[in-house]
Structure 1
Amino acid sequence: MDQTRVVLGVGGGIAAYKACELLRLFTESGHRVRVVPTASALRFVGAPTWAALSGEPVATEVWDEVHEVPHVRIGREADLLVIAPATADVLSRAAGGRADDLLTNVLLTVRCPVVFVPAMHTEMWEHPATRANVATLRERGAVVVEPAVGRLTGADTGKGRLPDPDAIFELCRRVLARGAAADAADLAGRHVVISAGGTREPLDPVRYLGNRSSGKQGYALARTAAARGARVTLVAANTALPDPAGAEVVPVGTAEELRTAVLKAAADADAVVMAAAVADFRPASRAANKIKKQEGRDPEPVALVRNPDVLAELSAARPAPGQVVVGFAAETDDVLANGRAKLARKGCDLLVVNQVGEGLAFGTEENEAVVLDASGGETHVPRGPKEVLADRIWDAVAARWASAAH
């Protein structure tokens, strides 16, 4: 079987050093990688480093190895082109169709999926020219990942940081899994909001009422949506997972905090997927100090009050026109019957029903579910990686959008 061929373009930014780790992840997983840096990138990491790590020659100009017409050969052979870091200059030249070095020439010859991973100062990322270039590239079917928020060069902090190489690699892995299909970036131009994890309701400064949700299914939804071109807002409740590349992560703790964050993000969202396990109840009051055990006395009963029903609220309000709302139902028995009843009660468009219990769903790498449609359809997704279920959910969401457009 032929090796998957990846072209790693490297722009001239300080984050170029992180591309060395991304290159290692590709090569160690069996991919054949050709690095195509810009001339500016070689000021940060030299050609011998790229050649040694990839085992392939390194060139920046079309005049190198000219007898092989390198830009055409590299482009035709590629299964994936990822540019990390993609500087403001690279984005501008790519959007304008420039062909003034080997990387931009290759961009014009590839017919495989293209992923841009921007990295730059916040002001450059937010500039109207950069935003217009990003929009143009997304309209052409490229996946342009949202940069991470964090430490930039010097003392600056903000949006514009290159995501961690592990997260970039996972996103690229999902893009490769979808292949060169015409709909590989079928969520491009869409804003999706995903809740993940499990809320915690404090009893006192030490204890809380919680649940066993790890957030893995919600994070899989975020990774797959970003790989399909969506702008992703991930509302994460008490998770311990690395941020997915391309997702804006909003950390929350309680159900009330989750409600506030989801409703804010949903104002312009095309879809909201409520994968988080949100507590139905919370303590009526929170003790200011740790509740002490008293010898010979049973503890006082804990009075509970209802938390807001975020899924039902979203389904009724529909903050954005044409918004698709997806709920989750974790059931232990009568799974489909309870799921259909919840779908009718909540008023959402789709409901993902899965059985939970020891070794099932919570904290595992795999999941099995049935996706129920408000129109009466149901799709069974057999046990497999949570990313497979995530893709089937996005397929169902995209089908709802397509149906509404006709």
Structure 2
Amino acid sequence: MTPSQKNVLLCVTGGIAAYKAATIASRLFQKGFHVKVIMSDSAQKFITPLTLQTLSRNEVYTDTFEERDPNVVAHIDIADWANLVVVAPATANCIGKLANGIADDMITTTLLATQAPVIIAPAMNVHMYQHPAVMQNMQKLADFGYRFVEPGEGLLACGYIGKGRLAEPEEIIACIEGHFSGAESVAGLPLKGKNVLVTAGPTREQVDPVRYFTNYSSGKMGYAIAKAAARMGASVTLVSGPTALEKPSGVHVIDVISTEDMFQAVMKEYPDQDLVIKSAAVADYTPRIKYGEKMKKNKENWSVEMEKTKDILSVLGQKKERQILVGFAAETGNLEEYAMDKLKRKNLDMIVANNVAQEDAGFSVDTNRVIIYKKDGSSIEYPLQSKEKVAEEVLLQALELMAL
């Protein structure tokens, strides 16, 4: 790859984390990238243009109307120059403007004009980050194809502890390098241009307005897969049952409650998908009668008659056309027997099996120990590792099937 193919436009908006942009610019230059910088007016309150000019070895753009070269229009010229645009830090204000097509400064004007991929690295107060308007704006940008580097958790400049701290420069640079490593072979973004559907969490089956049946699934495995797929460049839809997890940035999330809700959501999205990974632990049975009022405790014994829910995975297997279909088998014994039976009965391409009776690999924990079985009879056993790492391994194995 020649240097001219590694043009990074770094957009710096106004937050205390703007000082980290100096490290990003410096490291990128040292790694052979061509770096140009645009700064908002607010960013210049925290760090000077001269600092970033010195570190990037290029002039810094600050004013839409400052046209130094009469042969070009600056914001169009730089928009065309960029192979990748990175907004770091990205404030709630900038994210809101981009999501709604507002172009009132050099950064937003250039971003609306560029055809290059865009990576957003948010940084703000934890409550701002969790505000519905901000979450909605990030979702809109994800739908537009923008990628996100999620903020970290910890002590924020405002004194709060929570999620909102700008990702470390090393993580942002790794994301940039990952993008460019795939420029020729798509090795860095192996799922670029692919649609991936992931299901996660439990479902709830209502008995009456205050009671329901459910299971112990936390959704952590499915959320890890959704995040990893987004990092690999996919357009990701996550159909999630009720969980306590934060919605992942850059992922389209559809919230559902019951198995029927999940069935309807999945079937609506299914035709457009290239890869479906169904990691949700859906309820197999639902009460035959759902009471409209709370049942009073006036009986010594109370029996609830149950009936089967729709088998979402089986229906997907029956309707499968070009999709690669991956299931999960959460078992407490006879792992291989049950997993292989499920793989064949439901017409899956691959199944991920784990023993949820193990304390370090079951529900709610951050680690997992899995065996992947494929329809050709092959299998791969993985040692105990983080669910994030398991997610990457599952996607890499699914990619092999997609290449066949």
In the superposition, the TM-score normalised over structure 1's length comes to 0.69
Residue identity matched to 1:280: D
For the structure 1 residues 270 and 50, does the alpha-carbon distance in structure 2 shift closer, same or farther, using more than 3 Å as the test?
farther
Residue number in structure 1 paired with 2:32: none
Q: For 1:90 and 1:388, locate their aligned partners in 2 and report how far apart those are by CA, in whole Å.
A: 43
Whether contact under 8 Å (2:25, 2:56) holds in the other structure is no
1:96 alignment partner, SS class = helix
The Cα of 1:176 is off from its aligned counterpart by 3.2
Q: Does 1:70 align with 2:47?
A: no
In the superposition, the TM-score normalised over structure 2's length comes to 0.70
Residue number in structure 2 paired with 1:165: 151
Q: For 2:318 and 2:75, locate their aligned partners in 1 and report how far apart those are by CA, in whole Å.
A: 40
The Cα of 1:95 is off from its aligned counterpart by 6.3
Residue identity matched to 1:250: I
Q: For 1:315 and 1:303, locate their aligned partners in 2 and report how far apart those are by CA, in whole Å.
A: 29
Whether contact under 8 Å (1:149, 1:160) holds in the other structure is no
Residue number in structure 1 paired with 2:51: 58
Gaps of 5+ in 1: 1-6, 73-88, 99-103, 109-113
2:377 alignment partner, SS class = coil
Q: For 1:393 and 1:46, locate their aligned partners in 2 and report how far apart those are by CA, in whole Å.
A: 44
The Cα of 1:170 is off from its aligned counterpart by 9.5
The Cα of 1:345 is off from its aligned counterpart by 1.0
Whether contact under 8 Å (2:139, 2:249) holds in the other structure is no
Whether contact under 8 Å (2:18, 2:43) holds in the other structure is no
Number of residue-to-residue matches in the alignment: 335
Deviations 1:350-369 (A, max 9, x none): 11001002523200000011
Residue number in structure 2 paired with 1:124: 101
The Cα of 1:131 is off from its aligned counterpart by 9.7
For the structure 1 residues 91 and 351, does the alpha-carbon distance in structure 2 shift closer, same or farther, using more than 3 Å as the test?
farther
Q: For 1:149 and 1:188, locate their aligned partners in 2 and report how far apart those are by CA, in whole Å.
A: 29
Q: For 2:363 and 2:386, locate their aligned partners in 1 and report how far apart those are by CA, in whole Å.
A: 13
For the structure 1 residues 130 and 256, does the alpha-carbon distance in structure 2 shift closer, same or farther, using more than 3 Å as the test?
farther
Residue number in structure 1 paired with 2:326: 326
Residue number in structure 2 paired with 1:304: 306
Q: For 1:329 and 1:396, locate their aligned partners in 2 and report how far apart those are by CA, in whole Å.
A: 16
1:170-181 matches, cutoff 5 A: 173=171, 176=174, 180=178, 181=181
Residue number in structure 2 paired with 1:374: 375
Whether contact under 8 Å (1:195, 1:274) holds in the other structure is yes
Q: For 2:304 and 2:75, locate their aligned partners in 1 and report how far apart those are by CA, in whole Å.
A: 57
Residue identity matched to 1:124: G
For the structure 1 residues 45 and 332, does the alpha-carbon distance in structure 2 shift closer, same or farther, using more than 3 Å as the test?
same
Q: For 1:191 and 1:287, locate their aligned partners in 2 and report how far apart those are by CA, in whole Å.
A: 39
Whether contact under 8 Å (2:370, 2:382) holds in the other structure is yes
2:314 alignment partner, SS class = helix
Percentage of matched positions with identical amino acids:
27
Whether contact under 8 Å (1:293, 1:299) holds in the other structure is no
1:355-366 matches, cutoff 5 A: 355-357=355-357, 359=359, 360-366=361-367
Whether contact under 8 Å (1:203, 1:287) holds in the other structure is yes
1:394 alignment partner, SS class = helix
1:124-163 matches, cutoff 5 A: 124=101, 137=117, 150-151=132-133, 159-160=140-141
Q: For 1:10 and 1:249, locate their aligned partners in 2 and report how far apart those are by CA, in whole Å.
A: 28
Aligned match for 1:273, one of 270, 277, 280: 277
1:217-366 matches, cutoff 5 A: 217-294=221-298, 297-318=299-320, 321-357=321-357, 359=359, 360-366=361-367
Whether contact under 8 Å (2:79, 2:111) holds in the other structure is no
1:351 alignment partner, SS class = strand
What is the RMSD of the two structures over their aligned residues, measured on CA atoms? Answer: 4.3
For the structure 1 residues 298 and 374, does the alpha-carbon distance in structure 2 shift closer, same or farther, using more than 3 Å as the test?
same
